Chains A and B, each alone.
Chain A
Amino acid sequence: MTATLTVSERQIGLLLSVLLALMGLVMAAVARHGAMSVHGVMAVGLGLVLAFRFGGALYDPAPPADRLRHYYDAPTRFGIVMTLVWAMIGMGVGVWVAALLYWPEATPLWPATSFGRLRPVHTTGIIFGFGGNALIATSFHVLQRTSRARLADSVSPWVVLVGYNLFCAWAVTGYLMGATQSKEYAEAEWYADLWLVVIWVTYFALYLRTLARRNEPHIYVANWYYLAFILVVAMLHIVNNLALPVRLTVAESFPVWSGVQDAMVQWWYGHNAVAFFLTAGFLGMLYYFLPVRSGRPIWSYRLSIVSFWGITFFYIWVGSHHLHYTALPYWAQTLGMTFSVMLLVPSWASAGNAIATLNGAWHKVRDDATLRFMFVAAVFYGLSTFEGSFLAIRPVNSLSHYTDWTVGHVHSGTLGWVAMIVFGAIYTLVPQLGGKAEMASPRAVEWHFWLAVAGTLIYVVSMWNAGITQGLMWRAYDENGALSYSFVQSVEAMAPYYLLRTIGGGLFLTGAVVCAWNCRATMRGATGEATDRPLAAQPAE
């Protein structure tokens, strides 16, 4: 990191590190005990480590003067490393909690390892740790290439990445200590939420400043999606996390929303976290890396306009389909259902556009596992958006809701679509950023591909079976008009599916471990830097 920064940039870095350590010190001092003080200590530790790094390297040789005529890829490389680190954490915990459902006696009698505390570690680790780092890292890459301009400055990308990972670390360690808001996919406590707002504003400003320096008149489609991801996630995050701390010195807080209002806000957030975190940003990734890897231009420009605005406009309405038959007003449920069905049009337009782009490059899909990752991602995107619209229909939802079918649906999206496109992007980026022709082991990429596909299919199919079985058992009546099954009978019926799901998740995790090893081997051997250059030289700041 420090080698790519000028002396004055290192000084700014040193100053920011000291400020971070001071902020942590204040947090730890006022809180004195509990999650908030531990998080303060973590910030102090991180601030000190960074301060020593900047301080020690302050008067190292300056980077070459022509660096401004190159893209700035060091943050992307760091982001990819963090993506893989969080993949290990998030997927590892996921497989472990899946195993606990089959084998509950394995739970250590230690509060921090209980299922309820680990489950948000899995979801946050995957969505924010794995997905978020992949989005930030690739967005820096795509933004620079499609704008033909270097990032607007060299310090703020590091602020974004380091600050964002501190947020993720605060969130997951907080859950282990029992600090949680309990709002699904937004469990982090109030000060972590505030911290994320600061980081996010920096990210947004960096994005716009870099776009302002672009040497291409048009802003490429991928950037629309990344912009929508940044903007709408900010909006969702702020509204859903409005909370009143019990005291300014403790982690505990109460959301300002209550009851039905809180439920609507929560699922407006929850489903749009799927839309704008797990879909929009990754579509940005797809729109850049799929054409690059296949060497084919996007099939239809018009279709990409229609699908972008369709997704941006329709998605925001659909959250209420999580609340069918509940105490939410009926009209709001109906709106959610209607828009969910309509959403199929822009979703399939995107998936279709991606698959049609591969026309003429099918031989590459056959031979290149990296491109195959992207193709499978587009297919699973189409499948899971169809399933999503289907599950949002009220009578279908009466069967599927509260069951493992929902879990299967989410994983067909996250394993089949999100993770596959991330791996496709990583396998494209890692060799390119190291100035290499291919990954250290192309065979390992092939192995990873089949492990990932097999793991996803086993997972999703077992959860479909589990969910439909649960749904049918819960509503079954015998000839006397009494319920046929007790609840615990439906729990017993789940055992084989929970075992299969654990195996599927284990295969997927194994593939990710192979990927991490392969990336490490490729990065280690890398000496050069990316061979592509911005169109025009960038003036100094």
Chain B
Amino acid sequence: MLRLHYNLEKISMGLVAAIIVAASVGGLVEIAPLFTIDETVELPDDLRPHTPLELAGREIYIREGCYACHSQMVRSLADELDRYGPYSLASESAYDHPMLWGSKRTGPDLARLGEKYSDDWHVAHLTDPRSVVPASIMPAYPWLARPLDTGLLSDALAALARLGVPYDDAMIAAAAADALAQSRPDSDAMEGFLERYGERPAARAFDGDPSRLTELDALVAYLQSLGTLTDAPHRILAEGNR
């Protein structure tokens, strides 16, 4: 064995090949099975993708690096169920490119945040966290009150559709209009939004001002959607408790 290695270390390409083989096995064993994800992760019937406004909010969440301090993955541990809610399912993030499970909780987990607080609370909290949670160490994000740029939304939906997220051509074409409609439920464009996304996504002036479409609208819409894309985690937990 030692003799073999004695000779191997005289051949650079031999070392290269051996390193590639040794370093590939683990990845192949652990990752390759996940390519059969369609068969192994059962998507709940009621799972919906994010609306364009929520998707824009998700991009802001990514842009500001929120994932550095907030996880979106409730582990299957008693205290996490009591603190946050039902444990997270693989299917819940099936449409998430990238996933935002996170790795650190400097702030609390957000997987079950949706509809836990009011829009007003979120707006106040994002603008000045210590006005609602005096001991908070979260930075303030006052610049989120600026107008939302919806210019890339159609292309974003198209890119996600190519990666397998169920957005149809109508949704892609109307992405910017639908983002506006979701924050202005009284407008005429609401009819089209309801046709494409149904009654389930919350539609309201998330930042409290229906006359302007801001980044706050998008981010709050996203935060309010967390954990509400499917009812499956609640259902499964209730069945388990029965």
A residues with a Cβ closer than 8 A to B are: 100-102, 104-105, 107, 109, 111, 114-117, 119-120, 175, 178-184, 208, 211-212, 217-219, 224, 227-228, 231-232, 235, 239, 244-247, 250, 252-266, 268, 276, 302, 305, 309, 312-320, 322-329, 332, 335-336, 339, 398, 401-403, 406-407, 470, 474-477, 482-483, 487-488, 491-492, 494
From A258, A263, A398, contact of B163 by CB (8 A): A258
Whether A324 contacts B75 in the complex (CB less than 8 A), given A119-B68, A219-B15, comes out as: yes
A180/B65 in contact, CB under 8 A: yes
B155/A247 in contact, CB under 8 A: yes
> In angstroms, how far is the closest chain B Cβ from the Cβ of A16?
27
Q: Counting CB contacts under 8 A, is B136 at the interface?
A: yes
A258/B65 in contact, CB under 8 A: no
Task: List residues of chain B with CB within 8 A of the CB of A476.
Answer: 79
B77/A475 in contact, CB under 8 A: yes
B75/A258 in contact, CB under 8 A: no
Task: List residues of chain B with CB within 8 A of the CB of A263.
Answer: 93, 99, 101
Q: Counting CB contacts under 8 A, is B237 at the interface?
A: no
Interface string of B1-23 (1 = CB under 8 A from A): 01001100110110110011011
Q: Counting CB contacts under 8 A, is B173 at the interface?
A: no
A407/B104 in contact, CB under 8 A: yes
Task: List residues of chain A with CB within 8 A of the CB of B46.
Answer: none
Which residue among B30, B89, B137 has the maximum number of chain A CB atoms within 10 Å of its CB?
B30
Find the A residue at minimum CB distance from B20.
A231
Which residue among B15, B23, B87, B104 has the maximum number of chain A CB atoms within 10 Å of its CB?
B23
> In angstroms, how far is the closest chain A Cβ from the Cβ of B109?
8
B12/A317 in contact, CB under 8 A: no
CB neighbors of A among B82-97 (8 A) = 82-83, 87-97
From B19, B62, B105, contact of A402 by CB (8 A): B105
Listed by A's residue number, 17 A-B pairs whose Cβ atoms lie within 8 Å are A114-B65, A179-B63, A227-B12, A255-B98, A258-B95, A259-B91, A259-B94, A259-B99, A260-B93, A262-B98, A264-B30, A327-B87, A327-B89, A327-B90, A327-B92, A327-B93, A476-B79
Which residue among B26, B88, B152, B160 has the maximum number of chain A CB atoms within 10 Å of its CB?
B26
Task: List residues of chain A with CB within 8 A of the CB of B87.
Answer: 327
Size range of the chain B interface in the assembly: 35 or more
Task: List residues of chain A with CB within 8 A of the CB of B89.
Answer: 327
Find the B residue at minimum CB distance from A498.
B137
A119/B65 in contact, CB under 8 A: yes
A224/B98 in contact, CB under 8 A: no
B97/A256 in contact, CB under 8 A: yes
Whole-angstrom CA separation of A101 from B5 in the bound complex: 50
Whether A488 contacts B133 in the complex (CB less than 8 A), given A232-B23, A255-B98, A256-B97, comes out as: yes
Whole-angstrom CA separation of A474 from B26 in the bound complex: 34
A244/B163 in contact, CB under 8 A: yes
Task: List residues of chain A with CB within 8 A of the CB of B16.
Answer: 208, 227, 231
Whole-angstrom CA separation of A403 from B105 in the bound complex: 6
A218/B9 in contact, CB under 8 A: yes
Find the B residue at minimum CB distance from A262.
B99
From B98, B133, B155, contact of A266 by CB (8 A): B98
A184/B103 in contact, CB under 8 A: yes
Q: Which 10 A-B pairs have the closest CB atoms?
A: A116-B65, A317-B26, A316-B26, A325-B75, A327-B90, A259-B93, A178-B63, A402-B105, A254-B97, A260-B90
